[in-house]
Chains A and B, each alone.
Chain A
Amino acid sequence: MIKTLKNNKVSNHLMLIVFSLLMLYPVIWWVGASLKTTAEMSSPSIWPSTPIWENYTKGWQFSPEFTFGRFFGNTLLMELWNVVGGVLTSAIVAYGFARINFKFRGALFSILLLTMMLPGQVTIVPQYILYNKLQLMDSYIPLILPHFFGGGAFFIFLLVQFIRGIPRELDEAAKIDGSSVYGIFYRIVLPLIKPALVTVAIFTFIWSWDDFFAQMLYLNSVGKFTVGLALRMYVDQFEIQWGRLLAMSLLSVVPSVVLFFFAQKQFVEGIATTGLKG
């Protein structure tokens, strides 16, 4: 019995290691390519003949005025607001849709879902004109604000599904103990959907990191650029500074990886703290 369990463990590890390596091939390629000269990029070998560390140092030293430190600072600050806004408001809105019967709930929920189905390409220009009229150009507000309004249909719907997975008897028990709907939300539901909230935080972070189109439209001064925008400056019409581009893009993934690494521990803790009874 113990032996098969052990074997099981070993084979599990083996499988996971092989699978991880397969998925990690891009990193290996990426690290190698980020140390190459542009002329060497075309060679099939993964590793450079002599590593060009300059891609990192010069790449970081973006221009005489700004380093990538500035861009990371800008992006992380924006992200902090996005994540706080997204996690906070999406849970509140989701609870309303999932647990409370109010007039026009069905209709409003359908509208919520419909807003996801219209491709953003056709609303972005009217939206830009709107923000332009509000004189919010060259600021992070147009980028952050939507996260404070429920964080978008995706997250609201996600949390609605999670909240509906929580046994109602918990609500009822709390109600008997004299809790209001607000109390139930805060003391019962919120702790129970922690894994889902962590998911919201991770996705908000990663997706706003990637959302270059809106950033490009709303940020004008280079001093306010995000990492994503700064990276795009390395891609000229004819000449791409491949070494620096790849080096800095690799660095730009690091915050997301670190965040994910630490945040996903919450999934493990998730079980311990919920302690649901069937």
Chain B
Amino acid sequence: MLAATLGLTACGNGGANNGQSNAEGKSNNSDPNAPVKLKIMWQGADIRHQAMLKTQEVYTGLNPSVTFSPEYMAWDDYWKKLPTLAASHSLPDVLHMDGAYIQEYATRGTLEDLSDIDLTGVIDEKTLDNLKINGKLYGIPISRNAQGMAYNKEALEAAGIELPKKDWTWDEFFDFARNARAKLPEGVYPISDTDTWDFYEYYQMGYGKGTIIQEDGKKFNLDKDLFMKFYGIFAEFRDKKIVPPADMVSAFKENDPQADPMASGKVMTRGATVGSVGALEQLMPGKIDVVNLPVGPEGGGWAQPTIFLSVSTDSKHKDAAKAFIKWFVTDKKAGETYGTNFGIPIYDDVYNAIEPSLAPKEKLGKKLYDTAKDKALPFSPAAAGWTEWVDNYKKTMDAVLFGQKSLEEAYNDISKSGNALAEKLSKSSK
């Protein structure tokens, strides 16, 4: 109750130098020192938990009236618990959001619009615009992410295969696979087969045909020619054993020590993000390197934030929550406290302060980001309501991999369900 009156207008003096953002509270006629307990929830591993707890301690040190009631867990449990909390209107004040989920939560009214947090000079306008959903900013990005590829440098060099180069084209990617096949031993494959929608979408976007899901899920756009061409090449690769057989592919599980396509030694390359490449590095220390995704005439891959802090509409302390988030992203001391535990910090000043102390796996992540940045296209997550279509895309393509469906049938199934869904969503929004 007290917190609702705290009224910290975070859009005060902007810039990055305010470790004392609570002072801005005076714009409201309330007592800035009235105690507030912020419920805060995030996911991750223990190092991140410790860093986050420490950061909250620092904040409370600077703003004694604000204390925290933290709740933290690992990724899976976090996303399992959140819907139930939303259903009972007990979402925490501040919560961790992810690019894969924010659309669902934002469009369904569980998150607060944070556009009024002034981030001038901290995050550039273009990045923020990319992140907006229906023109509103539902999460403040805290780190950078990018999509690229990892490859087994050690094994490729040993086999005398030319390593992938930055900004390689899709044709070069396919040629790499064909050439490498001849030089690799049997049972080891240059690239893996593909069954997920995003990998094909990079191809479609690279060739200028746009994203598959458009207008917040109300328009569906699957280019038949590119679809047939792309998967036609993979069909050829399947025949020539350039990609592994279907039952091997369906056994792959990324970052699992025994089932990861690369860590198991079966495949030389795979997709990787800034966040996941560090895990792969742990599995095969010193053996891997990174490159950006193959590019088309328009570019390829993406490089933008996917981790956010959001404020829930259930919150009774919205202003205090916003003030904390702003401090978290813009304050150097905050950045030094949590370091790279949320990825590469978004704010350059914060990043530069911690750069000298990066671990090898973090350097690899940074390298991936830098490589991907130049040719990056916008990140296009599935819109709200599309998770099931995404699952079915994979199932349909798996049927193609196992030879149970023709490519033509797969195209028809996928586009039929996609069009139906887009139509349904555009109707319900009218």
- A236 is an interface residue with CB less than 8 A from chain B: yes
Q: Report if A77 contacts B (CB, 8 A).
A: no
Residue of A nearest to B276 (CB): A238
| A63 interface neighbour in B50, B80, B84, B279, Cβ under 8 Å | B50
Chain A residues whose CB sits within 8 angstroms of the CB of B72 once the complex forms:
222
A contact set with B: CB distance below 8 Å: 38-39, 41-42, 62-64, 124-125, 128-129, 132, 137, 213, 216-217, 220-222, 229, 232-242
Cα-based distance from A262 to B90 in the complex (angstroms) = 43
In the complex, A167 Cα to B282 Cα: how many Å? 65
Q: How many Å lie between the Cα of A234 and that of B44 in the bound state? A: 9
A220-B71 contact, Cβ under 8 Å, with A42-B258, A238-B255: yes
CB-CB contacts below 8 Å: B238-281 with A: 254-258, 260, 263-265, 275-276, 278-279
**Contact assessment for B255 and A39 in the assembled complex, using a CB-CB cutoff below 8 Å:** no
Among B37-55, those with CB < 8 Å from A are: 43-46, 49-50
Q: Tell me whether B284 is interfacial, beta carbon within 8 Å.
A: yes
Closest partner residue, chain A, to B39 (CB atom):
A220
- Within the assembled complex, what's the spacing in Å between the Cα atoms of A235 and B257? 13
Structural contact, B279 and A238, CB atoms closer than 8 A: yes
Residue from B46, B73, B283 in contact with A39 in the complex, judged by beta carbons closer than 8 Å: B283
Q: Which residue of B lies closest to A244 (CB)?
A: B46
Seen from chain B, the residues whose Cβ lies within 8 Å of a Cβ on chain A are 43-46, 49-50, 71-77, 80-81, 83-84, 87-88, 90, 254-258, 260, 263-265, 275-276, 278-279, 282-285
- Chain A residue with Cβ nearest B259: A42
How many angstroms between the C-alpha atoms of A43 and B90 in the bound complex?
45
CB distance from B333 to the nearest CB of A (A): 21
Write 28 A-B pairs (CB below 8 A) sorted by A numbering: A38-B257, A38-B282, A41-B258, A42-B260, A42-B265, A42-B283, A63-B46, A63-B49, A125-B84, A125-B87, A137-B90, A213-B80, A217-B81, A229-B73, A229-B77, A232-B74, A232-B77, A233-B45, A233-B46, A233-B73, A235-B75, A235-B76, A237-B43, A237-B75, A238-B255, A238-B278, A238-B279, A239-B45
- A229 proximity list for chain B (CB < 8 A): 73, 77
Find out whether the CB atom of A239 lies under 8 angstroms from the CB atom of B278.
yes
Task: For the complex formed, measure the closest distance between the CB of B287 and the CB atoms of chain A, giving whole angstroms.
Answer: 10
Chain B binding site: helix, strand, loop or mixed by DSSP?
mixed
B46 contact set on A, CB distance < 8 A: 62-63, 233
Contacts of A222 in B (CB 8 A): 72
A225 to chain B, nearest CB (A): 9
Q: A275 CB to closest chain B CB, in angstroms?
A: 50
- Asked if B74 and A233 make an inter-chain contact with CB atoms under 8 angstroms apart, the answer reads yes
Which of A132, A213, A216, A240 is within 8 Å of B90, CB to CB?
Answer: A132
Complex contact B279–A39 (CB within 8 A): no
Contact residues in A for B258 (Cβ distance below 8 Å): 41-42
In the bound complex, residues from chain B placing their C-beta under 8 Å from that of A232 are 73-74, 76-77
Say how far B236's CB is from chain A's closest CB, in angstroms. Answer: 30
CB distance from B267 to the nearest CB of A (A): 13
Complex contact B77–A239 (CB within 8 A): no
Which residues of A lie under 8 Å from residue B263 when comparing CB positions?
A: 42
A132 to B86, CA, bound (A): 12
Asked whether, in the complex, the Cβ of B80 is within 8 Å of the Cβ of A216, the reply is: yes
Q: In the complex, are the beta carbons of B74 and A236 less than 8 A apart? A: yes
Cα A239 to Cα B273 in complex, Å, equals 13
Residues of B within 8 A of A62 (CB): 46
The residue from A129, A234, A242 contacting B74, defined by CB atoms under 8 A apart: A234
Question: Quick one: which of A41, A128, A234, A238 contacts B88, CB cutoff 8 A?
Answer: A128
Q: Which of A39, A213, A216 contacts B257 (CB 8 A)?
A: A39
Cβ-closest chain B residue relative to A241: B45
How far, in angstroms, from A213 to B88 measured CA to CA in the complex? 16
Whole-angstrom distance between the alpha carbons of A56 and B218 in the complex? Answer: 52
A135 vs chain B, min Cβ distance (A): 11
**Most chain B CB inside 10 Å of its own CB: which residue of A222, A234, A241:** A222
Minimum-distance CB pairs A-B, first 4: A41-B257, A237-B75, A238-B279, A236-B45
- Most B C-beta atoms less than 10 A away, residue of A216, A229, A236: A236
CB distance from A62 to the nearest CB of B (A): 8
Report the minimal beta-carbon distance from B82 to chain A, rounded to whole angstroms: 11
Shortest Cβ distance from residue A69 to the other chain B in the assembled complex, whole angstroms: 17
Q: Kindly list chain A residues whose C-beta atoms are within 8 Å of the C-beta of B279.
A: 238-239
Among the interface residues B265, B279, B285, which one has the most CB atoms of the partner chain A within 10 A? B279
Q: Is the CB of A217 within 8 A of B75?
A: no
Which residues on B sit within 8 Å (CB–CB) of A129? 87-88
Bound together, the chains give a CA A241 to CA B77 distance in angstroms of 16
Give min CB distance, B68 to chain A, whole Å: 12
**Given A42-B263, A238-B276, are A128 and B84 neighbors across the interface (CB < 8 Å)?**
yes
Q: Is the CB of A238 within 8 A of B84?
A: no
Q: How far is the CA of A39 from the CA of B361 in the complex (A)?
A: 14
Besides A39-B284, A238-B278, 12 other CB < 8 A contacts?
Answer: A38-B283, A41-B258, A42-B283, A63-B50, A128-B88, A129-B88, A229-B73, A236-B74, A236-B75, A237-B275, A237-B276, A238-B255
Q: Which residue of A lies closest to B86 (CB)?
A: A125
Cβ–Cβ contact B285 & A235, under 8 A: no
Chain A residues closer than 8 Å to B283, beta-carbon distance: 38-39, 42
- B282 contacts A216, C-beta separation under 8 Å: no
Q: How far is the CB of A191 from chain B (nearest CB, A)?
A: 43
Give the chain A neighbours of B255 by CB distance below 8 A: 238-240
CA distance A276 to B105 in the complex (A): 63
Nearest CB in chain B to that of A213: its residue: B80
List the B side residues contacting A42 at CB < 8 Å: 257-258, 260, 263-265, 283
Complex alpha-carbon distance, A202 and B265, angstroms: 43
The interface centre, meaning the residue of A41, A220, A222 with most chain B CB atoms within 10 A of its CB, is A220
CA distance A64 to B75 in the complex (A): 21
Residues of A within 8 Å of B74, CB to CB, are 232-237
Q: Measured between C-beta atoms, what is the minimum distance from B210 to chain A in Å? A: 29
List the B side residues contacting A235 at CB < 8 Å.
74-76
